[in-house]
Structure 1
Amino acid sequence: TLFNAISAMVPVTGGDIRFEGSTLLGLDPNQVTARGIARTFQNVRLFTNMTILENVMVAQHCRTKRGAFGALFNTRAFRQEEDEIQARGEKALGFFGSRLVGFRLNQPASVLSYANRRRLEIARAMATQPKLLLLDEPVAGMNPVESAELTGLIGRLREEWGFAIVFIEHDMSVVRDVSDRVIVLNHGELLTEGDYADVSMDPRVIEAYLGQDTIIEDAIKS
């Protein structure tokens, strides 16, 4: 719900959402993206009838300057802009190694494995050149090997691409390995925040996620 509100996927009933000093309320999703916020989804949402390359190219059209006239008459400026879009898309795909490039560029997204669909969705968000990247449970449904690999890539994203990253995740090992700061929400209410070491030992967090019985059992063992 938080990510949906930020990205204008659902209406906000109260309060304000501000990014770089300006409100995001009243904007359409494409306008939020143009402001520099990109996201992925808990359930992967790709254009499966498009190729892998087309998926990362179409995501960038929120920033294009050449309109329908340029596309209709295939002007030089339009072709130049499309070349730039393709180059940015290929760069984003290349971040994930050979899994999404080479002969795969022109394959439909529907042929990808689940893990590679996850990677493509992140690459699509990267291609929009965001300042803030929202990742919604990025390793959900992955096996331990895939999860560990993607966790490492998320860390590299921040270091090599300079994105600010906010992600939602229930896998505590991922939270531990990637996060600088952890915010815990419980039924929409802020429970606590801080670094992983402090938050993971907070009795309120343990109770909310594991239940009161776990706290009592651990206390008895101690």
Structure 2
Amino acid sequence: MKLVFNLPHMLRLKAMMQPWEATVTGSDQTRMAKCADEWGYEMIAVPEHFAIPNDHVELSGPHYLQSTVAQAYLAGATERIRLNSCITVLPLQHPIVLAKALATADWMSSGRMMVTFGVGWLAREFELLGVPFSERGRIAERVDFIKSQPEFDGRPFDVVHGLGTTRVGEGHVARDDPNGRPGMSGEEIVERLSWLGEQGVTVSAVPLPPVRSVDEYLDYAQWVIEEVKPKVP
């Protein structure tokens, strides 16, 4: 099982983050990405939106990056970890320009770029960017066009089956966590990841306990790699 490193403050959703994450800076993210790269995590994923209407901020959050730019930066700050989008809203971007950006970043990173395409769902975002919302379903044509570009030299796109982050409630004590923080125990994480592997999942995020700072987050992430991952089949 290969593990995803969930980089904090890639978005700002109350249901999917802890309060301290909103204070994480780009410099913090760079430091964390370097640690994840050194420790052996497989992938970092970057979500994307271009414009969140005011009446959707409460639901969708106010903070997103442009995925390809962020992936390219993180690739430049690391040496081996793969960089994925989660997701790239394909209908909002010109396929030729996007293909060139992805191919450039992939070349400069020695083939570490990945991309997950989505059709998008926020009609007002499409309206703000002047893209017909009703035509967003033609994503297969755009994907085929991007794959056909000479920059990709006929290489197939990877297909990775994965599962997102699970947030763990305050009431669950992580008995194997050396700092005694709430969360899943090492044994329970091994059991969960092993079950996912049996279902055909090859890349998964790790359930996260509530932490209070970047340093606590890194302590936990390193513990997972050193103490938990070797026990997963």
- If the length of structure 2 is used for normalisation, what is the TM-score? 0.31
If you compute each CA radius of gyration, which structure gives the higher value, 1 or 2? Answer: 1
Query: Which is helix-richer, 1 or 2?
Result: 1
- Name the structure, 1 or 2, with higher relative contact order (CA <8 Å, separation 6+): 2
- If the length of structure 1 is used for normalisation, what is the TM-score? 0.33
